[in-house]
Amino acid sequence: MSSFLHRFAEEFARLEASNLDRLAELYSGDVHFTDPLHEVYGLAELRRYFSELYANVEHLHFEFISHDEVCEGQGYLRWIMSYRHPRLNGGGLISLEGCSLLRWNGEGKVERHRDYFDAGALLYQHVPLLGGAIRWLQRRLA
C-alpha cells in the first residue's frame, strides 16, 4: 500500500468549499487535471474548477475504496462519490463509482490527475427528460 496514495486520499476526502486553499498542499502549480467533462491546467484553474463544483452541490463526499501504486510516483485510487444537486434526481443523493490515476513528483505533489467515471451516471441520467431518454435507450440496448 502506498503511503502517498493513502495520505492523498485522506486529505482529498477532507476538502470542502471552505478549505480549497489546501489544494496547494496536494497539487503542483502546473497540475494537469482531466475528467470526462473537463480539462484543467494549473493550480489556479483547478481551484476555480473545485470552487464551481462545490458551489453547485448541496453535499459532496468521496469514499476511497482502494489504492495501489503501479510504479514509483504513479498509482490509482478507486472511489465512490456521493452528491446532492438541487436540480438532479429530485435533489436526492446520487452515488457514482470511479477511479483516479495520479502521477506525483519528488516533492509529494500531484502533477497529473485523470479521473475515469461514467458521465451519464454522474449527470445526464438525472436530468429531467434527458434522463428518461437515456434509460430507455439503455434498456433497448441491453
DSSP 88: S
Instruction: Give the pLDDT confidence score for residue 136 in this predicted structure.
Output: 61
Instruction: Give the pLDDT confidence score for residue 133 in this predicted structure.
Output: 56
- 98 assigned to some structural domain: yes
Question: Which CATH number belongs to the domain containing residue 71 in this structure?
Answer: 3.10.450.50
Which residues, in sequence order, are bridge partners of residue 117? 98
Specify the residue for cell string 502533477.
Answer: 111
- 125 assigned to some structural domain: no
- 51 assigned to some structural domain: yes
Which residue type, as a one-letter code, is found at position 6? Answer: H
Per-residue tens of pLDDT for the chain, all 142 residues: 479 999 999 999 999 999 999 999 999 999 999 998 899 999 999 999 999 988 888 889 999 999 999 899 999 999 999 988 887 777 888 888 999 999 999 999 999 999 998 766 555 454 555 555 555 655 666 6
Answer for the pair 26, 100: CB distance below 8 angstroms, yes or no. no
CB atoms within 10 A of CB 90: 9
- Judged on CB neighbours under 10 Å (0-12, 13-18, 19+), 84 is middle
Instruction: Give the pLDDT confidence score for residue 122 in this predicted structure.
Output: 54
- 43 assigned to some structural domain: yes
- 14 assigned to some structural domain: yes
Instruction: Give the pLDDT confidence score for residue 142 in this predicted structure.
Output: 65
Instruction: Give the pLDDT confidence score for residue 137 in this predicted structure.
Output: 57
Number of separate domains in the chain: 1
Phi, psi of 91 (to 5 degrees): 80, 5
- The edge-to-edge listing of strands for the beta sheet with 38-41 is 38-41, 27-35, 110-117, 93-104, 74-84, 59-71
- 134 assigned to some structural domain: no
- 105 assigned to some structural domain: yes
Q: Which domain holds residue 90?
A: 3-117
Instruction: Give the pLDDT confidence score for residue 94 in this predicted structure.
Output: 84
